Structure 1
Amino acid sequence: MAERPENLDDLDFLSFIDFAVDRTTSEIPEVDPKAMRLGLGLTRVASAMIYDLEAEVHRPSGWSWPGFRILFVLWLAGPSDAKRVARLSGASRAAVSALVNTLERDGLVHRRRSSTDRRAVELSLTEAGREVITDTYIRHNQREQTWAKALTGPEQTILIGLLEKLAQAATGTDVHTRE
């Protein structure tokens, strides 16, 4: 077992990656440190970015990150059934249903029975929902720009390409994604 470093208190959410990779590979030599670093790096940076966006933009606007994702989908895709909103937002149908209850109560989303399938529910933004998501998205994108400034323009392009390549791999038969 690797020794516990004396400066463990100096580690934070992101710097924990180096410690975790070193400690894990000393415990389990067959672990692939590059794959582990990739997985931890992606998930931890994404988590840190989401936390920042939620704290700086979405909570002050009155909703959570999952609520934003639903508003964002409805804003861009237009009126949609709950199944499509779940698929496009990466949420479960149960989560969409619960979130829509709150968003509807707040006057941001309208829910009605589908005219073509009485079992389906169509979701759409209210006028207030449209106004608040467009106003809020400006602040959201400003935070995205703050994060993006850590990279040069060419680095941003390379990272986008690499993320798109990973996203394409997610369509493989052995990778599970929300549907």
Structure 2
Amino acid sequence: MTHEQPDGDHLHFWSFIDYAIDRASRELPGIDPLAMRLVLTLHRAANMLVYDLESTVHRPRGWSWPGFRVLFAIWLSGPAEAKRVAELSGMSRAAVSALVSTLERDGLVIKARAPHDGRAVNLSLTDSGLRAIATAFQAHNEREQQWAGSLSADEQQTLIALLEKLTAHSVHFAAKQRE
């Protein structure tokens, strides 16, 4: 391997993908540049979309992206145990626990001991939390429509099918995922 310093002056968020593939291919000739491009592009697009939703819709409401995900999961699943909210939101139990403390302090969520297990915590939305998430999701979905608007309905369905195929295939190589 060489230890050349990259010329970072010409790079930006998207051009870095081409640069990274070129450089990695030279350094490690056996890599699969197409797989690398797929994963880098998917990761960057997802991060870009999440950052936009968080900064335009959720931060103005005082929420983080994870905070929105917790409220969204509770809203749609109904009152639920914290471990179920963690699973539905794709977050760790510890992260949900920390967020719930803030959301409870803000008057959006109520914590209560589960009747079947004194160690388990049930989470539900307050009336204020219900109004807040419903209003926020309206704005969230309007932004989703703006993002999706660059694709026709058929293209959206194709992309959904391809992403579902990609994620379903992960069972064949025991991909790690939150439980």
In 2, the alpha carbon distance for the partners of 1:148 and 1:15 equals 23
Q: 1:13-162 maps to which residues of 2 (within 5 A)?
A: 13-162=13-162
Of 146-155 and 121-130, deviating more is 146-155
* C-alpha deviation, 1:16, in angstroms: 1.4
* C-alpha deviation, 1:11, in angstroms: 2.6
* C-alpha deviation, 1:145, in angstroms: 1.1
Native 8 Å contact 1:113 1:122 kept in 2: yes
Aligned to 1:168: 168
What letter is aligned with 2:161? G
Aligned with 2:112: secondary structure? Answer: strand
Describe the shift of the 1:172–1:120 C-alpha distance in structure 2 as closer, same or farther (beyond 3 A).
farther
What letter is aligned with 2:88? L
In 2, the alpha carbon distance for the partners of 1:65 and 1:4 equals 35
In 2, the alpha carbon distance for the partners of 1:29 and 1:110 equals 55
Of 48-57 and 10-19, deviating more is 10-19
Aligned length: 178
Aligned with 1:70: secondary structure? Answer: helix
TM-score (norm 1): 0.93
In 1, the alpha carbon distance for the partners of 2:24 and 2:105 equals 47
* C-alpha deviation, 1:121, in angstroms: 0.4
CA RMSD after TM alignment? 1.7
* C-alpha deviation, 1:2, in angstroms: 10
What letter is aligned with 2:72? F
In 1, the alpha carbon distance for the partners of 2:33 and 2:121 equals 46
In 2, the alpha carbon distance for the partners of 1:57 and 1:150 equals 20
In 1, the alpha carbon distance for the partners of 2:16 and 2:163 equals 22
Aligned with 1:170: secondary structure? Answer: helix
Unaligned 5+ residue runs, structure 1? none
What letter is aligned with 1:170? S
Describe the shift of the 1:101–1:41 C-alpha distance in structure 2 as closer, same or farther (beyond 3 A).
same
TM-score (norm 2): 0.93
In 2, the alpha carbon distance for the partners of 1:70 and 1:172 equals 30
Aligned with 1:29: secondary structure? Answer: coil
* Percentage of matched positions with identical amino acids: 57
In 2, the alpha carbon distance for the partners of 1:163 and 1:126 equals 35
Of 116-125 and 162-171, deviating more is 162-171
* C-alpha deviation, 1:166, in angstroms: 1.6
Native 8 Å contact 1:81 1:120 kept in 2: yes
